Structure 1
């Protein structure tokens, strides 16, 4: 079986465990949790995490213009 998390095209996914960090992100973008783009709990990229519905996931991608781009997703069922 192939581990998709080891593929070079799959960006790093990290669950934000610190509620204060989540609040900082929401304030920075001036949004509510429910306004974040969604990612399903059973997404293969989340297989190695302990993400539960309601968690916020930080995704760090490579970017041609900014070297790295950080995006956030809300985990849903």
Structure 2
């Protein structure tokens, strides 16, 4: 079976540490549950991701070089 998370077309998916998460939530003045969701079964997620974790996804962008989005891992 192919590990899709290592494919060149899949953007980086990194788990946020608690401190980083607090900074993001404070910066955007939101709750963790206000974030868009990503299913735990998404093949792009690492095996370490658990329900309730927040993932930082960094994509290439034509206009800003990088686009950063955050997703809450759900069941």
TM-score (norm 2): 0.92
Residues 37 and 73 in structure 1, CA contact (< 8 A), matched pair in contact too? yes
Q: CA deviation at 1:6?
A: 2.6
TM-score (norm 1): 0.89
Q: CA deviation at 1:37?
A: 0.2
Moved over 2 A (4+): none
Q: CA deviation at 1:29?
A: 1.1
Residues 14 and 49 in structure 1, CA contact (< 8 A), matched pair in contact too? no
Equivalences, count: 75
Q: CA deviation at 1:28?
A: 1.0
Give ranges in structure 1 of 5+ residues lacking alignment.
none
Give ranges in structure 2 of 5+ residues lacking alignment.
none
Q: Calculate the aligned-residue CA RMSD, in Å.
A: 1.0
Deviates more, 1:52-61 or 1:3-12: 3-12
